[in-house]
Chains A and B, each alone.
Chain A
Amino acid sequence: MTLTDEEKAMRDGRDGNAIACAMDLLIRYGEALGAENFVETRNVCGTVTATTPFMRDFALKQGAGASGLNAVFSEFNLDTTERVDVPKVKAFSSHLQLGFDPHHPLEMGVTEQMVQFYKKSEAMAAKMGVQMMNTCTPYQVGNVPTRGEHCAWMESSAVVYCNSVLGARTNTEGRESTSSAMLTCRIPNWGYHLDEPRLATLGIELDMPVASVEDWGLLGYWMGDWVQDRVAVISGAGLKAAVPNLPRLKHFGAAASSSGGVELFHLVGITPEANTLEQATGGRPLKEVRRYGPREREQTFERINAFGVDRDVDYVMLGCPHYTIEQIWEAAQLIEGRKVHENSALWIFTPRAIKALADRNGYTKIIEDAGGVIMTDSCSAMSRAVPPGTKVVALDSAKQAHYLPAILGVQAWFGTTVQCVDAACTGKWVSP
């Protein structure tokens, strides 16, 4: 890689060991990619806290207090056997979701010791200057990149939103590369930071209107399965029927990045790099165009629901990716005056900042009076936490329906938010 004088100085230790280790990791990573140089970034989303028993034990082996946390950061964030002191971040840095919600240790199945360890880790992260947003949707709570802004984000559902809906530029980064970017304001200039890889090579023609949140999740799951990590442009009369809002595109991207590795998509007339089909493709012919209609929708629906057998629903999870305030409002209206069934449970996940708004609006009380719980910081897939004895779950997220059967061995039903709230209140899954 070609390095600037500034980058060489950071690599050679001018700014201390931690920054030198961060540059070393970024150089190894950039060379692995085949990148020619770095791009500057001042917007990083990653994870620096320690939330797993494995990391806690790793920290304890290195000694109590700061030395244990320094050891975790050195190994798992900078990939070095050196033990560096955790420095302050240079870039504006946002913390993503965690392995559990520290406000609900009982439901999350974590010990008080684990929560105390996390709190030390959180204090360290805050002292570093990391914004403790603790969400997979930083773009909901104060980190909204502008078009063309170079970012270094991890969390696949946030990456695809950042690239596609906002027109900012990021690859899917990981724990080590984002931590290194926080300290150096650098990330390899590769992939979606460049113009050409952002152009669509595949096309999707909609033969049917795509309108509801469920519709968008199904289209996303189908698209990801086909395109894997290539860029597709979607066009057709079905798009114009209803311009999708934030919850729809959040669900769409999350689904597509679960069934495939989609990091960028274009919607003609809607997303910022696709005012026209020609703009999205750079005027080049598409390699393949497929049509999406009722048959594809039906097959995708059956595929996602392949792990649903028993109709007795033990648990309903909403908030993957983390719910917007609009979605919490919708859930509160659906459940107001009803009760969660004694054999079922309802957990809703959202960022802390939006939970605070839901508290003020009275939605938290409505949901809690019905027997539901609003949680933050995590989700069932991240925490591997579900109510005790859960065998069958109901979800309004294709992404969560993709992951939960694999992670927890549970059966999953996927459907609309209305179906999910009904399932929570009746304990039964009813197919439409």
Chain B
Amino acid sequence: MSAVAGSVQTFVIKGRCVVPGVVEAEALVTRDPISGWGGVDPRTGTVVETRHELRGQCFSGKVLVFPGAKGSSGWSAQFHVARVMGTGPAAWLFNQMSTKIALGAVVSHAPAMTDFDQDPLALIKTGDWVKVDATHGIVTITRKSQ
């Protein structure tokens, strides 16, 4: 679904609620799965994994769009600490459900969704403005043309 209004494009995709809540923020998109412990630094809210395409980038306050979680079971604890430190993402949109991402999203208290009718990795670009209404299972993406 796509509508063009002047130089602003809006898309809507639907999915399943993982953690309820509503938030709006800028998107940070990666096609690489994210490692928690040893993959991110909760003190700065950045990705530190050596071969990760987001290495050195900050996810704090962003709508993180990614395939899923990988790596050590310290996953939830890293994002739990990030939330308490105020460096966590604003929302989570992901394709591959796992215990790591489910628990990590739950303890981050940030709205989270999965099982989308269209692939968010294909539709959403870093820098897009994204409204996540996880409670109702709706994601609204707004993109300004260059």
Total B residues in contact with A, Cβ cutoff 8 Å: 35
CB proximity to A under 8 Å, residues B15-53: 16, 18-19, 33, 38-39, 48-50
Q: Identify the stretch in A28-36, A273-281, A324-332, A363-371 within 8 Å (CB) of chain B at 4 or more residues.
A: A28-36
A406 CA / B46 CA spacing, docked (Å)? 12
**Does A247 touch B at the CB level, under 8 Å?**
no
A191 CA / B100 CA spacing, docked (Å)? 12
| Closest B residue, CB atoms, query A75 | B84
**Does B73 touch A at the CB level, under 8 Å?**
yes
Max count, chain A CB within 10 A of own CB: residue among B33, B85, B98:
B98
CB proximity to B under 8 Å, residues A216-249: 228-229
**Does B97 touch A at the CB level, under 8 Å?**
yes
Also in contact, A406 and B106, with CB within 8 A (given A76-B80, A261-B69): no
Also in contact, A28 and B106, with CB within 8 A (given A58-B84, A174-B74, A258-B71): yes
Also in contact, A190 and B99, with CB within 8 A (given A174-B104, A176-B107): yes
Give the contacting residue for B38; candidates A154, A171, A173, A407; CB below 8 A. A407
**Does A175 touch B at the CB level, under 8 Å?**
yes
A260 CA / B70 CA spacing, docked (Å)? 6
Give the contacting residue for B98; candidates A154, A177, A229, A405; CB below 8 A. A229
Chain B hits for A25, CB < 8 A:
106-107
**Does B75 touch A at the CB level, under 8 Å?**
yes
Per-residue CB contact flags for chain A residues 38-82 toward chain B (1 = under 8 Å, else 0) read 000000000000000010001000000000000000011001000
A310 CA / B18 CA spacing, docked (Å)? 47
B98:A174 contact, CB within 8 angstroms: no
**Does B105 touch A at the CB level, under 8 Å?**
yes
Max count, chain B CB within 10 A of own CB: residue among A33, A76, A261:
A261
Max count, chain B CB within 10 A of own CB: residue among A174, A176, A229:
A174
B96:A229 contact, CB within 8 angstroms: yes
Total A residues in contact with B, Cβ cutoff 8 Å: 38
Chain A hits for B81, CB < 8 A:
54, 76
**Does B60 touch A at the CB level, under 8 Å?**
no
Also in contact, A171 and B106, with CB within 8 A (given A58-B84, A76-B77, A76-B80): no
B38:A174 contact, CB within 8 angstroms: no
Chain B hits for A376, CB < 8 A:
none
B76:A175 contact, CB within 8 angstroms: yes
B107:A173 contact, CB within 8 angstroms: no
A154 CA / B143 CA spacing, docked (Å)? 40
Chain B hits for A171, CB < 8 A:
99
B48:A173 contact, CB within 8 angstroms: no
A172 CA / B99 CA spacing, docked (Å)? 6
Distance from A371 Cβ to chain B, minimum over Cβ atoms (Å) = 29
Give the contacting residue for B76; candidates A155, A176, A188; CB below 8 A. A176
Also in contact, A229 and B107, with CB within 8 A (given A75-B84, A261-B33): no
**Does A92 touch B at the CB level, under 8 Å?**
no
A141 CA / B131 CA spacing, docked (Å)? 50
Max count, chain A CB within 10 A of own CB: residue among B81, B102, B103:
B103
Give A contacts to B, CB under 8 Å. 25, 28-29, 32-34, 54, 58, 75-76, 79, 154-156, 159, 171-177, 188, 190-191, 228-229, 257-258, 260-261, 307, 381, 402-403, 405-407
Known interface pairs A229-B98, A406-B48; 18 further A-B residue pairs with C-beta atoms within 8 A, sorted by A's residue number: A25-B106, A32-B112, A58-B84, A75-B84, A172-B100, A174-B73, A174-B99, A174-B103, A174-B107, A176-B103, A228-B33, A261-B33, A261-B70, A261-B98, A261-B100, A406-B49, A407-B38, A407-B48
Q: List 8 A-B contacts (CB under 8 A).
A: A28-B106, A29-B103, A79-B80, A172-B73, A175-B74, A261-B71, A406-B49, A407-B38
